[in-house]
Amino acid sequence: MSPGAMEPPMTGTPLLQADDLRKTYGGFVAVDGVSLTLRDGGSLAVVGESGSGKTTTARMIAGLERPTSGRVSVSGVTRAERRGDRLRRAGEIQMVFQDPYSSLDRRQRVRDAIGEVLALHERLSGTALRARVAELLDQVGLDGRQADALPRSLSGGQRQRVAIARALAVRPRVLILDEAVAALDVSVQAQILTLLAGIRARSGVAYLFITHDLGIVRHVCDDVAVMRGGRVVERGPVERVLSAPEHPYTRALLDSVPRRGWTPRRGLT
Ligand code: ADP
Ligand code: MG
């Protein structure tokens, strides 16, 4: 672990800063003044029920949606200033979605899905490209058999591992995971959460971890922001928010979480 990791969370320029983000659709306010801060190598959960504005917030941060107002900066540089520089922007923030099947090309073998990203972003080819593909797959617990597979012959968990490897291929500073484990069985969820925790510890990538499920945030996140109706109603360290929630909505969310019997360790295969 680098010495910097021991410093208090919010000293210096944050890695990611979202200031007063707003998004309206016609007269409807989907996101209503959301500000979020993520430190280098940190992990922030954004939690709230369906329709609370989590995905819209994530898409604005990733640059997939233009905010009605507000701004997003990475290492103090406003994302809008990078508008003409798509590769550079993509290299800062990557996103993993709930359904990896929809973001993978059905006719493309796993190694080509990852290889094309490497060819574009790192201009790798030949042996170097094959070695980096193998390294990325190894990082997500996949091997040569899966590398030659098409998405349809993989399990849901394996597909999500491919999506994570593909996102990590550009060495992003921030990985946004939007309900990335929501469609998986509980035991597979546990494996993916364990994998994500390990990847962050080794690589120092920061997570914006979006979920409707407050029960899973303690396994991957340091901090949490609770959203309701387009606003953040509570935020703080995960331990504090889970053990002593201050907002009634957070308490209601916590009460709706079923107790689960697994730990990240037991999730290991
Ligand atoms: P969450 O991810 O928390 O479920 P979303 O950010 O997807 O919430 O949606 C927040 C609100 O904004 C919802 O009421 C949704 O219907 C609305 N919304 C999202 N995208 C659009 C859009 N493109 N046009 C109109 N309304 C939208
Ligand atoms: Mg959503």
- Looking at residue 34, its amino acid is V
Residues with CB under 6 A from ligand 1: 25, 30, 48, 50-56
pLDDT attached to residue 93: 95
Question: What is the number of the ligand closest to the CA of 52?
Answer: 1
Q: Of all protein residues, whose CA lies closest to atom 14 belonging to ligand 1?
A: 51
SS3 85: coil
| DSSP letter, residue 258 | P
Residue 11, pLDDT score: 60
Give phi and psi for 45, each to the nearest 5. -90, 140
What is the mean pLDDT for each group of 10 consecutive residues in the chain (269 residues)?
42 89 97 97 97 98 95 88 71 91 89 94 91 97 95 95 96 96 95 97 97 92 98 97 96 80 41
Is 126 within a domain? no
The protein residue with its alpha carbon nearest to ligand 1, atom 16, reads 51
Ligand 1 closest atom vs CA 57: 6
Contacts 24+ apart (CB under 8 A), 145-150: 146/110, 147/109, 147/110, 147/111, 148/109, 148/110, 148/111, 149/109, 149/110, 150/106, 150/107, 150/108, 150/109, 150/110
Classify residue 162: in a domain, yes or no. no
What's the 6 CA to ligand 2 centre distance in angstroms?
Answer: 33
Q: Is residue 191 part of a domain?
A: yes
CATH number of the structural domain spanning residue 238 = 3.40.50.300
User: Which ligand 1 atom lies nearest to the CA of residue 50?
Assistant: 4
- Flag whether 185 is in a domain: yes
Residue 17 belongs to domain spanning: 3-99+173-268
132 lies in some domain: no
Predicted pLDDT of residue 37 = 97
The pLDDT, as a whole number, for residue 83 is: 66
Residue whose Cα lies nearest atom 26 of ligand 1: it is 25
pLDDT at 24: 98
Q: What is the pTM assigned to this prediction?
A: 0.91
Residue 228 alpha carbon to ligand 2 centre in Å:
12
Do 236 and 223 contact (CB within 8 A), yes or no?
Answer: yes
Let me know if residue 194 belongs to a domain.
yes
Of 24, 29, 32, 56, best ligand 1 pocket probe by most atoms within 8 Å of the beta carbon:
56
pLDDT given at position 156: 94
Q: Please, is 134 exposed, middle or buried when counting C-beta atoms within 10 Å of its C-beta (0-12, 13-18, 19+)?
A: middle
Task: State the Cα–Cα distance between residues 201 and 191, nearest whole angstrom.
Answer: 16
Which residue CA neighbors atom 18 of ligand 1 most closely? 30
Q: Which of 198, 192, 197 is closest to 179 using CA atoms?
A: 192
pLDDT of res. 260: 54
Judged by its nearest atom, the ligand closest to the C-alpha of residue 64 is: 1
Distance CA 170, CA 206 (A): 14
Q: Is 89 in a helix, a strand, or coil?
A: helix
Q: Measured between alpha carbons, how far is 196 from 176 in angstroms, rounded to an integer?
A: 12
Residue 62 placed within a domain: yes
Which bound ligand lies closest to the C-alpha atom of 59?
1
Mutation probe of ligand 1 site: the residue of 22, 23, 24, 25 with most atoms within 8 A of C-beta = 25
Asked, for residue 121, whether it belongs to a domain, the answer is no
Query: How many domains in the chain?
Result: 1
